[in-house]
Copies of this chain bind each other. A is one copy, B any other.
Amino acid sequence: MNSDHIDVRQHILDTAKPIILGKGFSAVGLNEILTAADVPKGSFYHYFKSKEAFGEALLENYFSNYCGRLDSLFSTQDTTAAERMLTYWSSWLETQSCDDRDGQCLTVKLAAEVSDLSEAMRATLVRGTQQLLARIALCLSEGAADGSLPPFANAEQTALHLYELWLGATLLTKIRRDRSALESAMQSTQLILKIN
């Protein structure tokens, strides 16, 4: 039936996410995922054309959830844009600094590994990060409009600056296993946004 179809498929994706967040893409076998999801190995190719297509779906699912949450945060109009912006980076800091799998960033985990491996997955990453950047830039513009943030010469450029900063900080956090890199990024962010 069609609803089971989607349920099982989604169940595989949900089960796989924390596993892949831990071990990466290549190092994880279908076996491990499917055993964990309690889905027989033979079924996998009914729901996904290949491991690569599955990885693509995983990323698509991730970005669509992520953008959804971002939209609901950024669309609350009873706060200033500066507050929304800070809430966003704060939650980034919290989710990426704790050990809790599942909340962690698939972009940081997979980008380097997967971009040279699969054109399809790379394309999904391009689209996803682009959507993210557009939302950040929009929030910056709203901040300039409502006066809670300084007027930026180029909101896109500032958004990119911030996003690169936090990507790098998250990468360093994976290396360091402590909050220092992300806390430094937060300080830099407040400087960039001219918030004290």
The answer to whether A171 and B171 touch (CB under 8 A), given A23-B116, A112-B24, is: yes
Whether B175 pairs with A168 at a CB distance below 8 angstroms is no
Report the copy number of this chain in the oligomer: 2
A129-168 CB contacts (< 8 Å) to partner B: 129, 157, 160-161, 163-168
Whether B126 pairs with A176 at a CB distance below 8 angstroms is yes
A90-149 CB contacts (< 8 Å) to partner B: 108-113, 115-117, 122, 125-126, 129
Q: Is A70 interfacial (CB 8 A cutoff)?
A: no
Q: Is A193 interfacial (CB 8 A cutoff)?
A: no
Q: Is A187 interfacial (CB 8 A cutoff)?
A: yes
Distance A166 CA – B185 CA, assembled complex (angstroms) = 13
**A-side interface size class:** 35 or more
Q: Is A172 interfacial (CB 8 A cutoff)?
A: yes
Most B Cβ at <10 Å: residue of A108, A111, A117, A126: A111
Collect the chain B residues with CB atoms within 8 Å of residue A109's CB.
Answer: 112-113
Residues of chain A whose beta carbon lies under 8 Å from any beta carbon of chain B: 22-24, 26-27, 108-113, 115-117, 122, 125-126, 129, 157, 160-161, 163-169, 171-172, 174-177, 181, 184-185, 187-188
